Chain A
Amino acid sequence: NAGVTQTPKFQVLKTGQSMTLQCAQDMNHNSMYWYRQDPGMGLRLIYYSASEGTTDKGEVPNGYNVSRLNKREFSLRLESAAPSQTSVYFCASSESAGLYGYTFGSGTRLTVV
């Protein structure tokens, strides 16, 4: 069972470069989420998609865009990377809009230099 798959696992960007983080789930979940995790800050919601075709901002959306390509895939794009975006990014999905918790991907470690 693949669950939630994120790519890439590691990435180093230069300031100003762009990139897209990919996320796919095979559990037929409706809702998908992007979080970032920083030391001392916990997990913070960047964007979420309650269902295919919808996306909304979370707590820290600035500098990011998302695309819910289909029910399985939810990508996160950094248009012009900044050192403040150095973080670990987790994608998650849920059935019943989180009532039973989330399943997380293994994360992407991003460093912006």
Chain B
Amino acid sequence: RKEVEQDPGPFNVPEGATVAFNCTYSNSASQSFFWYRQDCRKEPKLLMSVYSSGNEDGRFTAQLNRASQYISLLIRDSKLSDSATYLCVVFRGTSYGKLTFGQGTILTVHP
């Protein structure tokens, strides 16, 4: 079983739609959680951290369920510019601080 698993999609949604991505992680000792965004042929960039109480940043809402080892990202009112690959990322807190990346979920927002 992969340490971090995501539905690869692709998700194709119209502008204005609400879309949700899910992610599961296998190691219950994981400490920190993130969503990264990666545009085509670019580097991954931190979109938002995910906190146990859930957190929101504008149109983006992230949720964490430690009991189920499940992370989600909700995007409301999708924009064309939201088209990208979204990476679920988990930090296990080993001695060297390695982040583990999911393979990513591809989102395409169309007019």
A residues touching B (Cβ–Cβ < 8 Å)?
31, 33, 40-43, 45, 48, 50, 56, 58, 90, 94, 96-107
Contacts and interface: CB of A to CB of B under 8 A. Distances in A.
Interface residues of B, number: 23
Interface of B: 31-32, 34, 36, 42-46, 49, 87, 89, 91, 93, 95-99, 101-104
B101 A90 contact: no
26 contacts: A31-B96, A41-B103, A42-B87, A43-B44, A43-B87, A45-B98, A56-B96, A94-B97, A97-B96, A98-B32, A98-B97, A98-B98, A98-B99, A99-B31, A99-B91, A99-B93, A99-B97, A100-B49, A101-B34, A101-B36, A101-B46, A101-B91, A102-B99, A105-B43, A106-B42, A106-B43
B58 to A, nearest CB: 19
